[in-house]
Amino acid sequence: MSACAGTNGINIPFQRRIRMENFDDGGLSTGPRRIEIYLPENYEETDERYPVIYFSDGGNAFSRPGATMAVDAAYDQLIDDGLINPGIFVAIGLASVASRLESFTPTTHRSGGGLGGYYRFISERLKPYIDTHYRTKPEPASTGIAGYSSSGSAAFIMAYTHPETFGLAGCMSPSLWSDHRYSLKLLTEGNGAKRPVRFWLDAGGGEYEMWGDVTSASHLLEQHGWIPGDDLAAYFDYPADHNFEAGAGRMRQMLHFLLRNSPYELERYQLVSATNLEAEKIDLSSGVRGIVGAEAWYTNGFRLTVPHPNLTLADTAIAVLDTHDPIRLHGVSQGETTISSTYHGYMASLPIIGCDPDNLVNYLPCPQSDIVPNASGSLTETFALPYSIDDTQQKTLARFGVSYDEAHVHIAVHVLDSTVIIEPGKLPWEQDAVEINIDIRPEEDIRTVISSYTNSLAFYLVPRSPDGLICIYDPETCGWTDALPPGIHGSCAAAPGGYNAVLSIPASEWRSRQGDPWKTFRLNIRINSVDVIGGPATETCWQIAWEKFLSPIGTGVFRRQ
């Protein structure tokens, strides 16, 4: 490694990665932050000036042990391949984990509202420091802001509202739904005039609702004058979940789009089965969702996604497109047809195998019973538990059952565990617990639409003395609370051979969504088990997790008898 002269006149090794602890925010944001800077490899050998991209959630930006977005690794590979202009990266750490939400949200909804101060910290304190101490190109066209999840939506808002500072925006899995869809309202209710900002937006299949928001934002930006492949990119990472590792998987594509050294040139266009990339057709009879991936492939092997493709079905008696989702297919009847599309003069098509939708779901019975389950004592003596939850070695970890009466729907679980570990200071999912997810939307939605926390009832039941800790997911705060809504009752208590968890939910929840009489619900149960105190919890699901992109249609659906 080369050397450079330090301030004391002694030659010191050149450092590409520089860390500054407790960088003062001047009282503008939530407090001092750790700043890490990643310089080009030959920075000390030239007089060249460089573009700068600021990464929020900076503790997860650069390579280190654990889950990161590996910005440095993706950048170095792109430089070696000669595909991008060199640049400087600045990772902005959190003042504290507790202040993350405040820093990245624009309103006081969910105790946020500090994004304005965070922007001022970057524009008035951090950026002037970086521009003074390093050879940067300080103009907006060479200054970017990037982030993941909440910091991804923060990047979108800051770039859109402050084009005088940022001309590049990397919005990875952005939480565009947060703050009552504040980001999208900027595009629909505010000044929609085009800004000189290059936007990258992406999301994975494991966060499919986020992809829906990305398609909405992309469509609105196009309407305001942004051009896909030029200053707008949408990227659908089909199987990816919502985590930093997924962000690392598409970091190369994002950095190439933002820092490319030559224009994108479209080479081909194709349609694929987004839920089975190896398949040459979309088979709706297989029980896997029919989702079309419309791919625009450019020079140097980079692809973008066409989020709103103009899809045409040859025979709508076999399959139809979803009314609300532009890339989702529904089977109408058995047979074969073709879906086709054109994009900038390129044509693509894909065979479709139809299905009878009424035969896709194997309904399970929810019997009527006057017996109310009780977590104390021997649950199995009073309440039928016909379903087992098994691990990968076919060992039964739990049994459960369901029933209903006129007032409630009941779910009871008996967990087989000789060493129940409870750690009061831990979060529910970090100790022994049962997670119950219930989707009670109308039957057609349950059969065809991906279920997730935002459209289902989700609970954690922890066998904590005396009656257990019962938490429900609150979509308004995007967090868990033990303040149960009126009418919902639950308990979780030690029992012979393990512990019992029971949950009773008012039938009015069903009637309000499905009418009277209610018909059905989709259920999934996870068992969390901690084998060693302080160790990680392992999850075992009865059915494949609903939020997973590849989860089959209609698994775990119960019908009222």
| Cis previous bond, 128, omega within 30 | no
Per the CB < 8 A criterion, the answer to whether 248 and 70 are in contact is yes
* Fold for the domain defined by 14-262: Rossmann fold (3.40.50)
In this prediction, residue 239 carries a pLDDT of: 82
pLDDT in tens, 83-120: 999 999 999 998 887 778 788 888 766 556 789 999 99
In this prediction, residue 107 carries a pLDDT of: 79
pLDDT of 426 over the 50 cut:
yes
DSSP symbol at 335? S
**DSSP string covering 288-309, please?**
S-EEEEEEEEEGGG-EEE-SS-
Calculate the alpha carbon distances from 318 to 135, 231, 300, 342, 446 in Å: 61, 38, 38, 21, 21
pLDDT of 476 over the 90 cut:
no
Q: Which helix (H) or strand (E) holds 439?
A: strand 433-439
| Interstrand relation of 336-343 and 311-313 (parallel, antiparallel or unpaired) | antiparallel
pLDDT in tens, 215-240: 999 999 999 999 999 999 999 999 88
Per DSSP, helices labelled H in 407-523 are 443-448, 508-514
At residue 559, the 3 state secondary structure works out as: strand
Calculate the alpha carbon distances from 97 to 57, 100, 103, 104, 125 in Å: 10, 5, 10, 12, 21
pLDDT of 33 over the 70 cut:
yes
pLDDT of 3 over the 50 cut:
no
Domain at 364-560: CATH architecture:
Sandwich (2.60)
Could you tell me what percentage of the chain is helix, strand and coil, using 3-state DSSP and rounding each to the nearest 5?
A: 25, 35, 40
CA-nearest of 215, 150, 147 to 187 is: 215
CA-nearest of 510, 358, 355, 528 to 434 is: 528
pLDDT in tens, 167-204: 999 999 999 988 888 899 999 987 778 999 999 999 99
pLDDT in tens, 34-85: 999 999 999 999 999 999 999 999 988 998 887 889 999 999 999 999 999 9
At residue 110, the 3 state secondary structure works out as: helix
| Interstrand relation of 198-204 and 168-172 (parallel, antiparallel or unpaired) | parallel
CA-nearest of 382, 375, 379, 219 to 310 is: 219
Q: Which helix (H) or strand (E) holds 478?
A: none
pTM: 0.82
Calculate the alpha carbon distances from 120 to 116, 125, 128, 204 in Å: 6, 7, 11, 31
Provide the CATH number for the domain formed by 270-359 in this structure: 2.60.40
**Distance from chain centroid for Cα 400:** 30
DSSP symbol at 125? I
CA-nearest of 399, 400, 408, 403 to 366 is: 403
Q: Which helix (H) or strand (E) holds 154?
A: helix 150-161
At residue 50, the 3 state secondary structure works out as: strand
CA-nearest of 153, 62, 145 to 101 is: 153
DSSP symbol at 75? H
Buried b (16+ CB within 10 A) or exposed e, 45-80: eeeeebbbbbbbbbbbbbbeeeebbbbbebbbebbe
Terminal-to-terminal C-alpha distance of the chain: 74
Which ranges in the chain are annotated with CATH 2.60.40.1190?
A: 364-560
Calculate the alpha carbon distances from 395 to 378, 391, 399, 435, 543 in Å: 21, 5, 11, 19, 15
What is the pLDDT of the chain when averaged over all its residues?
Answer: 89
Mean pLDDT computed over 452-472: 85
> Strands, E, within 1-142: which ranges?
3-5, 11-13, 17-23, 33-38, 52-55, 88-92
% of the chain at pLDDT higher than 70: 93
Long-range contacts of residues 483-487, Cβ cutoff 8 Å, at least 24 apart: none
pLDDT of 269 over the 50 cut:
yes
Q: Which helix (H) or strand (E) holds 398?
A: strand 396-404
| Interstrand relation of 469-474 and 479-481 (parallel, antiparallel or unpaired) | antiparallel
Per the CB < 8 A criterion, the answer to whether 271 and 292 are in contact is yes
At residue 186, the 3 state secondary structure works out as: helix
CA-nearest of 477, 525, 514, 552 to 108 is: 477
